[in-house]
Structure formats: C-alpha cells, structure tokens
Amino acid sequence: MCMRILHVVEATIAGVRTHVQVIAAGLDQRRFQSVVACPLRRENACGDDQFVNYLTSVGTPIVPVAMRRSISPRADIAALRQLVDVLRSQHFDLIHLHSSKAGFLGRLAARIAGSSAAVVYSPHGLSFLGKQSPAKRQLYLALERFAGRLCDRIVAVSAGERQIIAQAGLISPDRIVQIENGIAPIALPGEFDRSAMRAALGQPGTAPLIGTVARLSPQKNPKLFLEAAAQLLRDQPMARFVWCGGGELYAAASAYARELGIEQACHFLGHRNDAHQVLAALDYFWLTSDYEGLPLAPLEAMALRVPIVATDVVGTRDLLASGAGLLVPRGDAQALAMVTLRLALAPERSAALAAAGHAYYRANGTAERMLGALEQLYCELVGERSQPIAVAPEVLL
C-alpha cells in the first residue's frame, strides 16, 4: 500500500520548485504517492511558471491553494481554511511543508484539522537570517518557534542550518534531521555550442564570463554582485557578467548597473528555461547571497564543472568548505572581485576548483542520495505514528 504524502508549497519557483519536482518525480512510485497543494501561479513569478505543468506531466495530483508570499491576514486565513479542508477531506500519512509561508500555514492547518499524519518542515533557508528590521526579525523568529511545536521533524539541508535551528530554539535538537539537497543529473543538448552561447550572452572573446542563476531578490544581494563586477572591470575591462533569473529587484538592479556605468558589461536575462546552458557557458559562478539553506545553483555549477566564488554564509559555507569553491566575506565586493581576478590569472587553480566541485557533487549532491534519506525519514515517521500508544496500567484502572 502506498504512503500518501501531501507536499505544501507556496514558493513554486526557483530552488524550492526544483527541489519539490525532484521529490515528486523521484520517490519510488510503488511505495509513495505525492500530492502537491500549491498556488496555480505564484505572485511575482517573473516567468518561472513551470511547476504545475511539470507536476501534471509526471502524474502528480495538484490541489490549488491560493497562498501568497507576503504576509496578508485575509489571504493567509483563506489559505489556512483551504488547507484545513484538504486535510479533513483526504487521508494523508505524512505532510511535508516547504519554505516559511507554507511551513507556518501547513503546520497550523494540520493541528486545526486534527490530522493524524506525521508533519515534516523544510525551511529552505531561514528568513530571520536576512537583512531586516529587528522587529521583523523577532516576528519571524517567534512564528518559527511557535510553529516548531506543531511538527514532528524539521529538515536542515546543511550542518550550518541545523546549528542555527537548534540555537534559535525552533525545535528540540533531537527532532532536527540533516538531509543535504541533491539535484537530478544535468544533460546538455547534444547540439550545445559553448562558444555560441558565450557570444549570445555578450562574451565573444576569451575574457572571463561571470554570472549567476538566482532570483533578483534581497536575499541574493544583486547590489553586491554589481559592485564586485564594477571593481573587476577595472582590471579586466573585457569581462562580461550575466544574471539569469527574474525577480522583484530586476528594475532596481538594472538601474544600479547604469549608475555604476557598467550596463554594457552586464546582462540581466530574466527567467530562462535554458538556464543550464547559460550556466555551462560561464567561466566563474558567483553567489552573493546574504543567507541560504543549501543552494541548488552552485550544485548545478559543480555538476557542470564551473568554478565557484561565493559569500561566506550559512549553507553555502557548508557546500564549499571542503575546497569545492572559494568563499569571501558576506557583503565584501572587493574580496569577491580580487579572488576572481586571481583565479582568472591562474587557470590551473580554476581547473582544480572545477574538479573538486564536480567530485563533491558526485559524492554528496545527487538526487539519488537525497531521495534515499527522505524515504527513510518518511518511513520512520509513519512507522512511529502507526505504533499503538503505550498506556500505563494505572490509567486503565
């Protein structure tokens, strides 16, 4: 008999989208049946509308729930009611909640509905680690602590995230499970022409092509990316930069590139369905995030043997600490530019980083490894819930 799993997802784009798609398609279909509750289209999707179509194509049932990313009492209460109705009308053995909004509403809905399902929460990056006012940080932290009492496990995707979850008191340490993210194999089209792609991205020559695949959002800090680009261009005037991904900061980032006088060297691509081909054309991958869980785009860069330079933050630090990439201090544009310049002048060092990154991906970053760990967790939790409750003899008297 199949275990029925309800995945609740508000963030149907970018890394969370990829993660849930891998789970839904990759779990052993003979043992696990996935159902996904999510918006049919996320607000500010910026062209990233693949999620529902993909799940439908692989036979995963969709339950529409109109969740919003931003805090909206009216919309959040309506979404909560929808989730409660779903949990009362259908049987699930386990509920897996992804990212902060779905994580909070889903845990609350499970409690209100009186669901007997095991409840698992994957934060995919802790929002209270971002740059925000102290009051907002404390609000997010308080909400996470409250909801932590309503689930069986929190899945940390890195050792750093696990430590933060424990230190912040979101849940007792024995109920934190560390399962690092993994990605499906990447197969480039047989006709892929790296030189042609580089030229299409604005780099027809041999000078560095540097870029990222990420949302243009505050978390990813495009301002730092552009400031580092401006500094590197002083020493490498023929270098070119690409940002693949849409987001709410698209207009602001484009304006800042003009303000820095580097708009001719920087290309904002928006969402691209051929993001892997863009990534494969890069000489260096930058990740300028202020915080992460365990980002997927660097794993994809590792799989494609692209050297990585990234900010030293939770999640990314765990990914690169073994030598699979280079870390620079958070917010330090000069360090990001200088480290990349040194790599550009030392091709053997770049090749060594690419090889180390690929080895890390093969050993630690595959979907197969991640899915095996998730299947084990699901079975353990559902097995615990199915055990009869031991009652002390005196209670029976």
pLDDT one-digit tens code per residue, 253-272: 999 999 999 999 999 999 89
- Read off the pLDDT of each residue in 25-30 and give the average, rounded to a whole number: 89
Q: What residue numbers bound the domain in which 139 lies?
A: 3-182+367-380
> Do 201 and 250 reside in the same domain of the chain?
yes
Q: Which of 90-99, 189-198, 376-385 has the lowest mean pLDDT?
A: 376-385
> Do 266 and 353 reside in the same domain of the chain?
yes
3-state secondary structure of 16: helix
> Do 86 and 231 reside in the same domain of the chain?
no
> Do 233 and 125 reside in the same domain of the chain?
no
On the question of pLDDT at 241 being above 70, the answer is yes
Burial of residue 252, with CB atoms counted within 10 A of its CB: 0-12 exposed, 13-18 middle, 19 or more buried: middle
DSSP string for residues in 206-271: SS-EEEEE--SSGGG-HHHHHHHHHHHHHH-TT-EEEEEB--TTHHHHHHHHHHHT-TTTEEEEES
> Do 145 and 223 reside in the same domain of the chain?
no
3-state secondary structure of 387: coil
pLDDT value of position 98: 93
Looking at the structure of the chain, the number of domains it has is 2
> Do 173 and 122 reside in the same domain of the chain?
yes
Q: What is the pTM of this model?
A: 0.85
Q: How far is CA 104 from CA 165, 166, 169, 260, 381, in A?
A: 15, 18, 16, 40, 20
Which CATH number fits the domain that encloses residue 349? 3.40.50.2000
Residue 84 belongs to a domain:
yes
> Do 283 and 356 reside in the same domain of the chain?
yes
pLDDT value of position 52: 84
> Do 175 and 199 reside in the same domain of the chain?
no
Residue 394 belongs to a domain:
no
Smallest Cα–Cα separation from 105: which of 122, 128, 81? Answer: 81
> Do 107 and 202 reside in the same domain of the chain?
no
pLDDT value of position 134: 82
Residue 290 belongs to a domain:
yes
pLDDT one-digit tens code per residue, 82-123: 999 999 999 999 999 998 889 999 999 999 999 999 999 998
Residue 393 belongs to a domain:
no
pLDDT value of position 44: 66
Residue 323 belongs to a domain:
yes
> Do 14 and 104 reside in the same domain of the chain?
yes
> Do 373 and 356 reside in the same domain of the chain?
no
Residue 236 belongs to a domain:
yes
> Do 144 and 211 reside in the same domain of the chain?
no
Residue 397 belongs to a domain:
no
